């Protein structure tokens, strides 16, 4: 079973993503902030991180840089209200980008394409 970590500060969005992915057969871990996500990643191998950018405290792009420094093998899907072009400029080199206004079907399609 593939494991996905959702890093999203908004409880409702995190819950929707968790339910969506669990219904599709993924094992899901979640975190509301970058610090807790980092701790989860120290203790778990995950296949994909669904990463919000704008969060209180430490933002998602900082976690992405830390992962690169750690040589973490997890793929990263940036999921943000920012446009995809802005996401690419803030977090270059991610496995995928998702504009939250695009809908859950689009999100699921991107996740499946990254994990296959």
Paired residues of 28 in beta bridges = 4
**Tens-place pLDDT, residues 74-99:** 999 999 999 999 999 999 999 999 99
Q: Is the pLDDT at 71 greater than 90, yes or no? A: no
pTM of the full structure: 0.93
Q: Which domains does the chain have, with CATH numbers?
A: 3-115 (3.40.50.2300)
């Amino acid at each position: 079973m593939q494991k996905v970590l959702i890093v999203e500060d908004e409880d409702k969005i995190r819950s929707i993503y968790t339910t969506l992915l669990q219904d599709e057969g993924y094992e899901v871990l979640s975190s509301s902030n970058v610090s807790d996500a980092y701790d989860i990643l120290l203790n778990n191998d995950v296949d994909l991180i669904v990463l919000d950018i704008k969060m209180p405290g430490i933002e998602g792009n900082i976690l992405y840089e830390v992962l690169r420094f750690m040589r973490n093998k997890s793929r990263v899907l940036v999921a943000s209200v920012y446009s995809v072009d802005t996401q690419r400029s803030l977090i270059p080199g991610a496995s995928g980008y998702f504009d939250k206004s695009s809908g859950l079907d689009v999100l699921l399609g991107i996740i499946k394409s990254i994990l296959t």
